[in-house]
Each structure stands twice: as C-alpha cells, then as structure tokens.
Amino acid sequence: MTFDTRRSLLAKVHIAKKDLGLDDAAYRAILARHGVESSGALDMKGLEKLLTHMEKLGWVSTPKQAKPRINAEHVAIPDGTPLARQKRYALALAKALGWNLVGLQKRIKQQFGVENIIWLADQASLQTLIKDMTNRCRKKGIDPSPDKTGAA
C-alpha cells in the first residue's frame, strides 16, 4: 500500500463502505472483527488491515487522477466561428506570452462577461484584448506579428 495519512485512510474506509453497499449493521460487524466499534479507534496499521479486508470483499480503490493542464494550443477554433482568425491570433498571443487557457478564459469572463473565447462575438472586445496582448508581447521583447506567433 502506498504512503497515506491517517485521514486519507479513514476517508478510504468510508468510501469502501459506500462502494460495497454495506449497511450500518454489516459495517459494524466488520469493525467488531477488527476489535473496535469505530474506524476512528484504529491506528494506521489497523486502518490498513481494514482496507485490505474490504479489498478482499471486492472493493477496488480508484486513484484520483490529476486534471490535465490545458494551454492555448489545445483549443480549436472552427472555421465557421465568427472572428475565427482574430480568436486564433489571440490564442497564439496567449501562447507566446506563456499564459494558460484557464487564465485567459478567466480574464475574458471578467472583462467581457463571456465564459469562453469561442463565444466572444464582439469585434471591439476582441480588438481590445488583442491590443493589450500585443502591447504585453512588445514589453517582453516578443514579436507579436501573426507569422512570428504561429497564427498565420
């Protein structure tokens, strides 16, 4: 078993109880076989033994998977999207600046009230965003022209 803290082991015990569909009486019977009335009374070794017992009953621990970090190059702007070229350029600028997509989307929501760059249909808003990003590029010494940012 991998290194776990006591709290995470207790959480796994309760997840296993739920996943196995154990009612209170069945759960208490299992705890009694381990010499306690509550899983909170078990030490680390006891919790590990209890989890091993639950695994023998058929419980399978599923490790938590980290969410992949999304960056600006993973967004596809379909050709039929209004202002598609400008949106692709804005994404290329964000990539050149080292921004991630989450940060860009958060800024777009705060500044323009739209959840996603794909839904940004106001050309003036998009121009404001691009103008600010090109100025930031210049300040960092990055050439913001479309052929240099990969937006051509």
3-class DSSP string for 118-137: HHCCCHHHHHHHHHHHHHHH
What's the pLDDT tens digit per position in 33-83?
999 999 999 999 999 999 999 999 888 887 765 544 444 445 678 888 889
pLDDT of res. 102: 83
Percent of residues in the chain assigned helix, strand, coil, to nearest 5: 60, 0, 35
pLDDT of res. 64: 66
Is the sign of the CA dihedral 40, 42, 45, 50 positive or negative? negative
CB 59 within 8 A of CB 69: no
CA distance 40 to 10: 7
Model confidence at 97: pLDDT above 80: yes
Kindly give, in sequence order, each residue whose CB lies less than 8 Å from that of residue 90, ignoring residues fewer than 6 positions away. Answer: 104, 117, 126, 129, 130, 133
Kindly give, in sequence order, each residue whose CB lies less than 8 Å from that of residue 152, ignoring residues fewer than 6 positions away. Answer: 146
Average pLDDT over residues 27-31: 93
Of the two residues 116 and 68, the one the predictor is more confident about is 116
